[in-house]
Amino acid sequence: MKYKLDNNIILTEEGYDMPSDRFIKEDKYQLYVSVNEANRYASLDFSSRLAMYEFGKEIIYEAVFGKGGFMEFYPMIVTDEKLEIINGVRMPLESARLFISYIDSEDE
């Protein structure tokens, strides 16, 4: 049976169900960021739609509830050779870091 992503996303300030249990349980859901300096582009390569979906939820959450003006995504292993989830994203060690900055002002 194919896994169906929920098209009704509910965000709470507490971050309930972020990331989803399915995402947490399986290491295969990852984001790989590569940078081509010669051609001046970056590529976000998701291992699945679920990996992209969870990344998108984190960005939306930050837009709605964020208070810092900055997000960082990076690869990390702490224990058991298992990739950590940082800000809702799991990245392989070979991945480049990803930074997102925005004006943190209500005077838009």
Token pair recorded at residue 75: 């690869």
Residue span of the structural domain in which 47 resides: 21-101
CB atoms closer than 10 angstroms to residue 85: 17
Our CA angle for 30, 33, 37, nearest 5°, is 170
Continuous H helices in 1-108? 21-25, 49-65
Q: Does 81 fall in a domain?
A: yes
The total number of structural domains in the chain stands at 1
* Structural domain includes residue 43: yes
- Look at residues 53, 58, 44 and name the one whose alpha carbon lies nearest to residue 91: 44
Q: Within a domain: residue 2? A: no
Residue 108, domain member (yes or no): no
Confidence of residue 23 (pLDDT cuts 50, 70, 90): very high
pLDDT in tens, 24-75: 999 999 999 999 999 999 999 999 999 999 999 999 999 999 888 999 999 9
Residue 103 pLDDT: 87
The predicted structure's pLDDT at residue 3: 74
